[in-house]
Chains A and B, each alone.
Chain A
């Protein structure tokens, strides 16, 4: 069942003191299904704007009285995000630059080509529309979109949120799989209970097992305290198992058992604890292929994928890029407490056509980078192209990836050992000196992982070797 997404009729205001040109532009836009209001002067346009709120204004530049630039300023004084397209018979670059810097969405030179006009209007509306942000009835507000593909996906997600079935979300890295899982949780009867997420690829098998199911005190070397697992932490809510395809086979069997009777048995315990948890999992792998290869249990696959959902890549939903750009620019502006910057029209077109293998996450990073580095309020195409060529952060080098993994691993070990260096070093298969070196390299302080009341008894044990005291301080 697909949600209906009725197309809203857009109201456009066209301003031109040449009555015949005004009539022509009005006709072209009306034929495209827009509702159009015409004004033969800037003064009339301002009077219209007092009574109506069009979705876009298209104005001539050279007019007696209030000209196009002044009208643009007046409009943006009251409504800074209103898209305004300037038309001019003078193909003067200074005018176009000035109009663009003042926030014009596009600059059209007369004589105007019908196709160019329709294209610019469509792009400006798409870039500035906030009406279609988020899903149906406020569902998944963070999944900004206008594409039918996403609308259909969110329609299905909304339906599935109401029932407790397992959901398997597939999709490339950076597409927003966790956001979709969060949305399903937020739209479910479990919304008031916790949403707990874990990345199954970030931890070694023993730690992952302990993280998921918990452990009893003394269950293994280093288990100095009882530890409640994430299944219990998510009781009543949703547990999101990210990168489920990377879960070791032995642990898959244990997870399957939990999913069969919804009871967890912490490591080292003989007692099974009932849990009420909804499972949503995600992977960038083709799980069916992993099943065929014998790397993923078939029974678990069917248990997890009662409802499969696929997050499309950004290249499958390029029409969403202008909205996403607008959304992220506003987020940057909120964080920096400044007015949102904007991409120049050609820069936006460049982004829409760009190859973004890191998907929405890469787009977000790129927008932040451009927003920070752009010296003016309008982000130029040159900066955008440069940022795209550099592909910052999204595709880290192998060394960077290794470092990131090592840090995550050390944090996991420290957490499991609750900050006890001797135990943590043993878990990691390193001596204390080597382990301290590793911590120093990642600027990790083991005391931060200790539980209150237990640090005193381990202080002596955790004294770093003399040679490393300064380094790890």
Chain B
């Protein structure tokens, strides 16, 4: 469940027994917006599609539903060759990853 915090940051509650992995997952995704932006600049739609696809699946499995939706949007935009929509999704991804943190439940 994702809840807006008083500050710009927000938290996502995940099962305590996977909370460490969820933090690793977010940390490992920190460079993804930059990689996606580079792929968009290079018109590498296949790479963009793959980035979106992986994000959709893995973020969703961890319980980051909004991030999963962003991944799905990026995948759809890349499949359709819609770079403007892809750029929006990449921006949302960067914003999300910059503000999210995990709390164990």
B21, B25, B61: which has the most chain A beta carbons within 10 Å? B61
Tell me the complex Cα distance, A27–B15, Å.
12
Q: Are A24 and B17 touching (Cβ within 8 A)? A: no
Bitwise, B61-96 to A at CB < 8 A (1) or not (0) is: 110000010000000000000000000000000000
Q: Nearest chain A CB to B25's CB is how many angstroms away?
A: 4
Q: Are A27 and B53 touching (Cβ within 8 A)? A: no
A90 in the interface (beta carbon within 8 A): yes
Q: Are B18 and A18 touching (Cβ within 8 A)? A: no
Tell me the complex Cα distance, A18–B57, Å.
10
In the complex, what residues of A have CB within 8 A of residue B21's CB? 20, 23-24, 27
Count of chain A to chain B residue pairs whose CB atoms are closer than 8 Å in the complex: 50
A110 in the interface (beta carbon within 8 A): yes
In the complex, what residues of B have CB within 8 A of residue A19's CB? 28
Q: Nearest chain A CB to B24's CB is how many angstroms away?
A: 7
Closest partner residue, chain B, to A88 (CB atom)? B57
In the complex, what residues of A have CB within 8 A of residue B62's CB? 20, 24
In the complex, what residues of B have CB within 8 A of residue A25's CB? 61
B54 in the interface (beta carbon within 8 A): yes
Q: Are B54 and A111 touching (Cβ within 8 A)? A: no
Q: Nearest chain B CB to A34's CB is how many angstroms away?
A: 14
Chain B 46-60 interface residues, beta-carbon cutoff 8 Å to A? 53-54, 56-60
Q: Nearest chain B CB to A275's CB is how many angstroms away?
A: 66
Q: Are A110 and B56 touching (Cβ within 8 A)? A: yes
A337 in the interface (beta carbon within 8 A): no
Q: Nearest chain A CB to B16's CB is how many angstroms away?
A: 11
Q: Nearest chain A CB to B20's CB is how many angstroms away?
A: 9
Given that A23-B21, A24-B21, A27-B17 are known contacts, is A90 also in contact with B53, CB under 8 Å in the complex? yes
Q: Nearest chain A CB to B78's CB is how many angstroms away?
A: 14
Tell me the complex Cα distance, A27–B17, Å.
8
B17, B54, B68: which has the most chain A beta carbons within 10 Å? B54
Q: Are B24 and A111 touching (Cβ within 8 A)? A: no
Tell me the complex Cα distance, A231–B26, Å.
78
A204 in the interface (beta carbon within 8 A): no
In the complex, what residues of B have CB within 8 A of residue A31's CB? 17
Closest partner residue, chain A, to B52 (CB atom)? A89
Given that A110-B58, A111-B59, A111-B60 are known contacts, is A20 also in contact with B24, CB under 8 Å in the complex? yes
In the complex, what residues of A have CB within 8 A of residue B25's CB? 20, 24
Bitwise, A74-92 to B at CB < 8 A (1) or not (0) is: 0000000000000001100
Bitwise, B3-46 to A at CB < 8 A (1) or not (0) is: 00000000000010110010011001000000000000000000
Given that A31-B17, A111-B68 are known contacts, is A24 also in contact with B61, CB under 8 Å in the complex? yes
In the complex, what residues of A have CB within 8 A of residue B54's CB? 18, 21, 89
Q: Are B24 and A89 touching (Cβ within 8 A)? A: no
Given that A23-B24, A24-B62 are known contacts, is A111 also in contact with B57, CB under 8 Å in the complex? yes
Tell me the complex Cα distance, A303–B26, Å.
73
Tell me the complex Cα distance, A24–B58, Å.
9
Tell me the complex Cα distance, A90–B54, Å.
10
Q: Nearest chain B CB to A58's CB is how many angstroms away?
A: 13
In the complex, what residues of B have CB within 8 A of residue A112's CB? 57, 60-61
In the complex, what residues of B have CB within 8 A of residue A21's CB? 54, 57-58, 61
Q: Are B18 and A28 touching (Cβ within 8 A)? A: yes
Given that A20-B25, A89-B53, A90-B53 are known contacts, is A27 also in contact with B58, CB under 8 Å in the complex? no
Closest partner residue, chain A, to B63 (CB atom)? A111
Q: Are A111 and B56 touching (Cβ within 8 A)? A: yes
B24, B25, B53, B58: which has the most chain A beta carbons within 10 Å? B58
Closest partner residue, chain B, to A87 (CB atom)? B57
Tell me the complex Cα distance, A19–B15, Å.
19
Closest partner residue, chain A, to B24 (CB atom)? A20
Bitwise, A105-116 to B at CB < 8 A (1) or not (0) is: 000001110100
In the complex, what residues of A have CB within 8 A of residue B60's CB? 110-112
Tell me the complex Cα distance, A31–B17, Å.
8
Tell me the complex Cα distance, A18–B71, Å.
15
Q: Nearest chain B CB to A57's CB is how many angstroms away?
A: 18
Tell me the complex Cα distance, A23–B53, Å.
18
Q: Nearest chain B CB to A293's CB is how many angstroms away?
A: 60
Tell me the complex Cα distance, A20–B26, Å.
9
In the complex, what residues of A have CB within 8 A of residue B68's CB? 111
Tell me the complex Cα distance, A106–B25, Å.
26
A19, A62, A90, A110: which has the most chain B beta carbons within 10 Å? A110
Closest partner residue, chain B, to A31 (CB atom)? B17
Q: For A20, give its contact among B15, B56, B58 (CB under 8 Å).
A: B58
Closest partner residue, chain B, to A16 (CB atom)? B58
Tell me the complex Cα distance, A56–B31, Å.
34
Q: Nearest chain A CB to B63's CB is how many angstroms away?
A: 8
Interface set of B (CB-CB < 8 Å, partner A): 15, 17-18, 21, 24-25, 28, 53-54, 56-62, 68
Interface set of A (CB-CB < 8 Å, partner B): 18-21, 23-25, 27-28, 31, 62, 89-90, 110-112, 114
- Can you list 21 residue pairs at the A/B interface with Cβ under 8 Å? A18-B54, A18-B57, A20-B21, A20-B24, A20-B58, A21-B61, A24-B18, A24-B25, A24-B58, A24-B61, A24-B62, A25-B61, A27-B18, A31-B17, A89-B53, A110-B60, A111-B56, A111-B58, A111-B59, A112-B61, A114-B15
